[in-house]
Amino acid sequence: MTATAFGLVIGAAVLHAAWNMVVKASPDRLVAAWCVVVGAAVLNIPVLVIAGLPDPSVRTVIVISAAVHLVYNLTLVAAYERADLAVVYPIARGTAPLLVTILGVALLNDDVGITAGVGVCLVTAGLAVIALGGGQGRGVGWALATGVAIATYTVLDGAGVRAGGEAMRLLASVFVLHAVALTVVVALRRGLVPAVGSAAADLRPVIVGGAGSAGAYLLVLMAARDAPVGLVAGLRETSVLIGIAAGRVILGEQVTARHLLAGTASVIGAVAIVMG
């Protein structure tokens, strides 16, 4: 991996952790998550304007994926309302590669070697240490649900891209449809006018969150042009350690050596999974 690709992936990890921190720090996490999603959707609209809509063969996948993304946002918000960033973020991010590996073998006939098997064990051990040592049980449950949602939409999007061969248009469509669905939820739960007013009063979730969400993905795509996709995906999991550090330094959460050790094990395991 070149120094440029390395820098791009680390940048993506920082952006991803940053928008999660914005949501966690917000007094209304549902509205903050909505701002992130809408901001990312706005940045993806030009893709559809220039490239056009995806092929009809993948539109069912787009609808289902957008629905799962919606579940992801709702479970993430629920987790952050009950537990620290340093607990929720590594569990949600670490659960995903573990389940994606299992689902990939079961549904997509992916071949998993010994290295990936060791990685699965490391991720599982790291998640267990964080989950059992944090004393935030209800938040842990929602964080695990978030990880399941991440794994599900990752497999769905992967299957759609393999079927249609048009990743950019498919994912841009998911971003936009996801934003529409979450807007409906926010309108029902908060009222659209109050939500817009709350967002206008604090534009950080829109700017930092939207740019972080879309920008993280863009940087990963740029890095993948010059580096193996597996290595890029594994290195991106350093966002787990960044999230733990942000929880301690910026949000003042209680972070112990156990968190750091478990987070490190999860990152190493994630790298082993994608490299195996």
> What 8-state DSSP symbol labels residue 55?
P
Over residues 4-62, the pLDDT tens digits come to: 777 777 788 888 888 888 888 888 899 989 988 988 888 889 989 998 888 887 788 88
275 pLDDT tier (thresholds 50, 70, 90): low
For residue 269, the model assigns a pLDDT of: 76
Q: How many domains does the chain have?
A: 1
Helix 167-189 × helix 29-51 angle, to 10° = 150
pLDDT reading at 114 higher than 80:
no
Higher pLDDT, 139 or 202: 139
pLDDT reading at 75 higher than 90:
yes
For residue 267, the model assigns a pLDDT of: 74
User: Mean pLDDT in the chain?
Assistant: 79
- Amino acid sitting at position 141: G
Higher pLDDT, 183 or 86: 183
Residues 243-266 have a mean pLDDT of: 79
Please give the residue range of the domain that contains residue 226. 3-275
Question: Within a 13 Å sphere around the CA of 126, how many CA atoms are in the beta-carbon half?
Answer: 32
| DSSP run (H or E) holding 229 | helix 229-236
Contact status, residue 257 vs residue 46, Cβ threshold 8 Å: no
pTM as predicted: 0.82
Exposed, middle or buried by CB within 10 Å (0-12, 13-18, 19+), for 264? middle
What DSSP string describes 167-212? HHHHHHHHHHHHHHHHHHHHHHHT-HHHHHHHHHH--HIIIIIHHH
For residue 204, the model assigns a pLDDT of: 65
Over residues 256-266, the pLDDT tens digits come to: 777 777 778 77
Q: Which of 75-84, 133-142, 254-263 has the weakest average pLDDT?
A: 133-142
